[in-house]
Structure 1
Amino acid sequence: MPRTSGPETREKLIRAAEEIFAAQGVDGAQTRDIVALAGQSNPSAVQYHFGSRAGLLEAVTAGRLARTEAALAPLLAAAETGRPALRDLLGMLVTAEATELRDDRGRRCLRISAQLSHESGIRTRTPHPTLAGTAYWRLLCRVEDALAAAGLPEALRLERLDLALTLIGAAMADRATHYLDGTEPLTDEELFLADLTGTTEAFLLAAAPGTTPPPPPRSSP
């Protein structure tokens, strides 16, 4: 009988969940399909290892965030002593997210996280528990500071930043789907990432209704 305890089984369930959540959607995925794909005969395996289906999803997203943090933290640390322009900050975020495009596991996780983009907590400045104290959250705060310096009203900049995460997440998930399906994207990856960074910057800096457009941001020396 397949084991239902130990780190190996836990990892098998996480890997299976990544596949099922990516294919069926976070809301549509069936726990029994995850258990079966993981090769487990005990239908309570998810409950045993993660406490609940939600706990399993949290484990999937935590693993994905850990990989993104590993890419993002050194980029942000290198910029801590300066005042990088908004485009540079967004470039760090896009670059870190794009590391998940390198393999099928990351691509599946991009499809999953795109469905959860509104859970960051940025609208209330209360980070989701998985984001508290991370480089990812510090970067979001610096992006908001840049938008405040550009004169964007508080409510509008928080809403736009939340929507920008949705834009980036959807674009990454779309790219990941191309790679997973073996279809050729319209643009190469370098152009895709540069355009996503520029498009997100333009969205965030669009003039608030009834106001004069803000001046273009300056790059720090």
Structure 2
Amino acid sequence: MARTSGPETRDRLIRAAEVVFATKGVDGGRLRDIVALAGQGNPSAVQYHFGSRAGLLDAVMAGRQARTEQVLAPLLDAAPDDTHALVEALVTAEASELGTDRGRRCLRISAQLSHESGVRTRTPHPTLAGTCYWRLIERTEACLAAAGLPEALRLERLDLALTVVGAAMADRARQYLDGAEPLTGEAVFLADLVETTTALLRAAQPRSL
């Protein structure tokens, strides 16, 4: 059996983790299954290359984020400071992951981690710090602030909106991976996701406020 380089082994472990975490869940996927799927004989391969399970998961998400950023960057530069336009840029960038099985698996994984984005505390997860994704979040919040929405409500809505988009993308990805027939075509699905997410963010304040 040919020896593999460090970078090649890391890539094999990341790709194996994408499969295991997508099918078994971030909490349910076992490291030994990842190591075996990656074709590694050393049970400590994950610790050696990534330091920990969390380090491997961060590497999976960093790769997924890098791909999405390439799509999002020009969209964000062209988007006006308008909630609908910013949501459309987000949805379009996220949808770029629907085109491959690898991207679909990563969408299923990232949906499980949406609560770790850091939106509610304004402290981005390390994989999001300084990204176009985080800039989009900040610009969207500024739009909500200009509309008069209180800070706590802005942050809660943003977190909920990102969760909705992530869950919708993950479910669509699951259908594609399972060979199921979606209820709507992809263009309609994405357009409707933009409209419903924008409506969520722009909803009137509760009267009690």
Q: TM-score normalised by the shorter chain: which range applies?
A: over 0.9
- Amino acid aligned to 1:24: K
Query: Which consecutive residues of structure 2, in runs of 5 or more, have no partner in the other structure?
Result: none
Could you give the per-residue CA deviations for residues 122-176 of structure 1, whole angstroms, max 9, x where no partner exists? 1111111111111110000010011111111110110110011110000000000
- Deviating beyond 3 angstroms after TM superposition, the runs of 4 or more aligned structure 1 residues are 1-5
Could you give the per-residue CA deviations for residues 163-220 of structure 1, whole angstroms, max 9, x where no partner exists? 11110000000000010001110000111001001000111111121169xxxxxxxx
Alpha-carbon distance, 1:77 to partner: 1.6
Could you give the per-residue CA deviations for residues 77-116 of structure 1, whole angstroms, max 9, x where no partner exists? 223xxx3321110000000000000000000000000000
Could you give the per-residue CA deviations for residues 58-86 of structure 1, whole angstroms, max 9, x where no partner exists? 0000000000100000111223xxx3321
* Separation in 2, partners of 1:150, 1:156: 12
Q: Check the 8 A contact 1:2/1:40 in 2, yes or no.
A: no
Query: Which consecutive residues of structure 1, in runs of 5 or more, have no partner in the other structure?
Result: 213-221
- Amino acid aligned to 1:110: L
- 1:160 maps to which residue? 157
Alignment length, in residue pairs? Answer: 209
* Separation in 1, partners of 2:126, 2:172: 28
Any idea what SS the aligned residue of 1:123 has? coil
124, 127, 131: which one aligns with 1:127: 124
State whether structure 2 residue 22 is matched by structure 1 residue 22.
Answer: yes
- 1:45 maps to which residue? 45
* Separation in 1, partners of 2:91, 2:208: 29
TM-score (norm 1): 0.91
Any idea what SS the aligned residue of 1:88 has? helix
- 1:143 maps to which residue? 140
* Separation in 1, partners of 2:77, 2:147: 23
CA separation of 1:2 and 1:14: change in aligned 2, threshold 3 A: farther
Any idea what SS the aligned residue of 1:125 has? coil
CA RMSD of aligned residues (A): 1.4
CA separation of 1:31 and 1:2: change in aligned 2, threshold 3 A: farther
